[in-house]
Copies of this chain bind each other. A is one copy, B any other.
Amino acid sequence: MVDQKVMEKYAELALKVGVNLQKNQALMVNAPIEGADFTRIVARKAYEMGAKDVHINWTDDELTLLKFEHAPDEVIGTFPEWQVKLYDSYAEDGAAVLSIRSTNPDLLQNIDPKRVAMANKAAAEALKNFRKYTMNDKIAWSIISIPSGDWALKIFPDASREEAVERLWDAIVKIVRVDQENPIAAWEKHNETLRKAHEVLNEKKYKKLIFTAPGTDLEIELPEGHIWKGGAAVTESGTVFNPNMPTEEVFTLPHKYGVNGTVSSTKPLNYGGSVIDNFQLTFKDGKVVNFKAEQGEEVLKHLLESDEGAKRLGEVALVPNESPVSQSGLIFYNTLFDENASCHIALGKAYPTNLEGGSSMNEEELDKHGVNDSLVHVDFMIGSDKLDIDGVKADGTKEPVFRSGTWALDI
């Protein structure tokens, strides 16, 4: 098992750098039962930091699977009202929200994708109000991961369960900088690097990005007033927090009507408890007009059919190949990690905070500015050491942004 001290350091990092918990603030945690030991440490530290209330929403892979296997459609397709009230009441109270993930990427692989899509859609619709809090940075939130046996075995199929968990702990601890003497200082430095990177990009005010790689030839228009972000975010009330740990990306939003060409995935995508792999999407005027996948095509189809916005892009993110996640050489089958090893784009909703004034625009205004809306937001990986990216400036001139998977700009 992982060292108690390591778990304590990680818990502290998640609370101080992840959600930046304040005195007298409530904390809502989503956590797996298999990770109860770690979660109890998080709760204890949160109270010690002055949290007024720590509530854990416990999840369990086995119970989730049982439900999908047995419950009728009307139960699968209904997101309970009490749970909406639970999420909303913590958000309204200004609570910090920490999600601890460890799900088996293959958990729902034998479940009818229609039922999984039904459940995801019901949840997304029911939590629309709650999502406004997170996607507009009205509250501090953070997603971290800890190993579970099933997940670790997916990454290290030849190891014993115990060994696999230990190796995954080792990998995660390195990637989130918990192996360093002072992880909090390391994160400050890292956030500074990401801040510099997005500042450079913000000055460029590119009209367009052109992605070229084997199987990829894609033009992404960037709307006027787009903002590159990366690393720490700030809530309306001024709390600096880190939505994702790890995070290695700088990202902005594509124009929802301005994406054209074809793009190929470079890593498997874990969506709704299944893996989609080796897939290709073709866009015309922002919309997916063609798609195929070697694995999980049916799941991809359901994802694209979630709603109108699911066929358009909501994010474009740049991650150089030197990222510690990429350096680990592992495929995690977990977007939180894999997206931070690789340039990626997201199907679905864009973050309004990626546009000047976006947080206070209504749906119509957002649409006019090219900001996509959807119930889903799903990142998928398109980066590799063969990826080149060019930036097209206001005057129409082109310049290299990425060459062979890493920065060509001075960043």
Binding site for B on A (CB under 8 A): 24, 26, 33, 36, 40, 43-44, 47-48, 51-54, 56, 58, 60, 62-63, 66-67, 69-72, 74-75, 80-83, 85-86, 89
Contact = CB atoms under 8 A, between A and B. Distances in A.
Contact of A52 (B44, B71, B89): B71
Contacts of A75: 26, 52-53
Contacts of A26: 75
Contacts of A47: 66-67, 69-71
Contacts of A53: 67, 71, 75
Binding site secondary structure of chain A: helix
B71 A63 contact: no
A215 to B, nearest CB: 43
B67 A44 contact: no
A53 B70 CA distance: 8
Q: Which 8 A-B pairs have the closest CB atoms?
A: A47-B70, A82-B85, A82-B86, A58-B58, A53-B75, A33-B36, A82-B82, A40-B62
Contacts of A40: 60, 62-63
A158 B33 CA distance: 30
Nearest to A49: B70
Contacts of A62: 40, 43
Contacts of A60: 36, 40, 56
A82 to B, nearest CB: 4
Contacts of A48: 70
A54 B67 contact: yes
Nearest to A72: B52
Contact of A82 (B33, B52, B70, B83): B83
